[in-house]
Amino acid sequence: MFKMKNKNIRTKIISNFFVVILITILVFELAVIHFVHYFYYSSMEGILTNEIKLSADLFEAYLNDDLNNIVLQDYDVFYKRTEAQVQLMDNTGIVLMDSIGSSDLGKKLESEDIISAQNGNMGKYIYKRNFNNINVMSLSAPLKSRGQQIGIIRLSVSLEKIDAVIQSIIIKLIIFGIAVSLLSLLLSSLMSLSIVKPLRKLTLIAHQIAEGNFHIKAKVDRSDEIGELARTINFMTENIQKKEQIKNDFISSISHELRTPLTSIKGWAITLQSEDYGMNQLMSDGLDIIEKESDRLSGMVEELLDFSRFVSGRITLQKEPLNLVSLAKSLSTQFKIRANNEKIDLIVNYDRDPIMILADKNRIKQVLINFLDNALKFTESGGTVVINILDVGEEVTLEVIDTGIGITQEEIELVTERFYKGSNSHSHTGLGLSISEEIVELHGGYMEIKSREGEGTSFKVILPKGGLFRE
């Protein structure tokens, strides 16, 4: 009756916790990667800045001469002091000297760093070489002679090793992030159990309470919200038990109080009908109605008394060997007149005779009467009611099938609920099927109800033989 949804609270706790951890790890790793990249690139920029400043200061202090003469005579002073690529350019950006003899020699360069140097400032430019797709950092600074800028010095260095180090760190961070994510997933799963496990226990208890077990108690071993929920459930069940007891006592009391006057009313109605008091037809019909209504009310009282016994646990079974075929034939004869009056065919089918079980005859009879009464009540003229009795090894199947109006799919799960009356029901108390199910379960069996609206209904009972097997 109760089904857990696929996406339960534990899944939500784990997924939410994991998403928070994952976002935290991603933010942390992105921040670390940015810092590592900035640190290594800034360090390289600092080294190149120091070297280019030293070269520019050296030129201004000691090599204060025409740039073309420097290129021809003292160019080695610049590139012997560094491992970087050294380029000397005039103020227009034409490369006059290249320490590695690259294809830039004699060409005019117009990168960002050179433009900054042309304006008298130090400039930086990071780019990828076309031929090997490796990052290169270039710094350019103005060369001055007697306060006048006469050229540009440019230092360029490959960032291949730095990028390899950064990539290695990134891979390690990714592995670390995956490991932390998996660990957090495991921890969140374990942590969620501390919340979900007691909630599942309380859910099972709530289901049992919903099914009518008001004597069950929730274990209170926590001081948090879950413990408070357990205490609330226990308080609720205690109140329900008190109210149920009051209701059951009232039903039992009023049923007993009604039984005596109903017996007297019926008795006097029968007595008056049996004697000749010169009654007219109207009085005779009135007494007949009184007798029938007394029978109907007595039946209702008996159902209420049975209900009171079942819920209070006072019911006991008087088991004895019982021939179900004989019982079905007897009840068929009893209901035959009613069936004929309503133009309904009443049929009994069985695969062998006798079919014996160990059961309380009166209680099984009560179940079968209830089934037949419902079947005849909801089957229209021209319909059929069939009693099937089958011997299936250690069990016996007792089934009543009708061609009546049927039960809606919405109501079929509710017809055995106490005091439930369907939309088409003529039940007096709504207890008949509920009591029948209780009787069947006390015998160790179970009841099945199948129905199609407009086609009919099947009431089936599967009962154990109770040790009475066919030889």
Segment of 63-72, 253-262, 344-353 carrying the highest mean pLDDT: 344-353
Judge whether residue 306 has pLDDT over 80. Answer: no
Looking at residue 151, its amino acid is: G
Place of tokens 């706790």: 13
Given this model, what pLDDT does residue 126 score? 92
| H or E segment to which residue 203 belongs | helix 160-210
Looking at the domain 12-164, which fold is it? Beta-Lactamase (3.30.450)
Q: Residues 108-153: pLDDT tens digits?
A: 999 999 999 999 999 999 998 877 789 999 999 998 877 788 889 8
The answer to whether the beta carbons of residues 409 and 277 sit under 8 Å apart is no
CB neighbour list of residue 312: distance below 8 Å, 6 or more residues apart:
248, 252
Which of 3-17, 365-379, 455-469 has the lowest average pLDDT?
A: 3-17
Which of 36-50, 51-65, 164-178, 303-317 has the lowest average pLDDT?
A: 303-317
Nearest-CA neighbor of 177 among 14, 21, 12?
21
Judge whether residue 33 has pLDDT over 90. Answer: yes
Alpha-carbon distance of 202 to 99, in angstroms, equals: 81
322 bridge partner residues: 357
DSSP 294: H
Confidence class for position 423, pLDDT limits 50, 70, 90: low
DSSP 352: S
Judge whether residue 341 has pLDDT over 70. Answer: yes
Q: What is the mean pLDDT of the chain?
A: 79
Q: Are strands 135-145 and 148-158 parallel, antiparallel or unpaired?
A: antiparallel
Q: Residues 51-73: pLDDT tens digits?
A: 888 888 877 766 555 666 655 55
Confidence class for position 38, pLDDT limits 50, 70, 90: very high
Neighbour tally for 365: CB within 10 Å: 17
Given this model, what pLDDT does residue 352 score? 84
Segment of 161-165, 190-194, 275-279, 407-411 carrying the highest mean pLDDT: 161-165
Nearest-CA neighbor of 380 among 407, 348, 343?
343
Helical packing angle, 432-442 and 361-377, nearest 10°: 150
Given this model, what pLDDT does residue 122 score? 92
Given this model, what pLDDT does residue 34 score? 94
Alpha-carbon distance of 345 to 403, in angstroms, equals: 10
Confidence class for position 1, pLDDT limits 50, 70, 90: very low
Range(s) for CATH 1.10.287.130 in the chain? 246-312
Given this model, what pLDDT does residue 108 score? 92
3-class DSSP state for residue 63?
Answer: coil
Q: What is the CA 203 to chain-centroid distance, rounded?
A: 13
CATH number for the domain running over 319-464: 3.30.565.10
In the predicted model, what is the mean pLDDT of residues 218-244?
82
Class of domain 246-312: mainly alpha
Is the pLDDT higher at 357 or at 305?
357
Phi, psi of 65, deg, nearest 5: -150, 180
Range(s) for CATH 3.30.565.10 in the chain? 319-464
Alpha-carbon distance of 418 to 398, in angstroms, equals: 23
% of residues, the chain, pLDDT over 70:
75
Nearest-CA neighbor of 52 among 129, 125, 107?
125
Alpha-carbon distance of 115 to 117, in angstroms, equals: 5
Report CA-CA distances (Å) from 203 to 39, 193, 194, 349: 56, 14, 15, 45
Range(s) for CATH 3.30.450.20 in the chain? 12-164
% of residues, the chain, pLDDT over 90:
17
Q: Are strands 319-323 and 345-350 parallel, antiparallel or unpaired?
A: unpaired
Report CA-CA distances (Å) from 462 to 59, 331, 364, 394, 451: 110, 19, 12, 10, 17
Place of tokens 């919200």: 225
Judge whether residue 409 has pLDDT over 80. Answer: no
Given this model, what pLDDT does residue 3 score? 45
Looking at residue 2, its amino acid is: F
Confidence class for position 245, pLDDT limits 50, 70, 90: confident
Q: Residues 360-408: pLDDT tens digits?
A: 888 888 888 888 888 888 888 888 899 999 888 888 988 898 888 877 7
DSSP 242: H
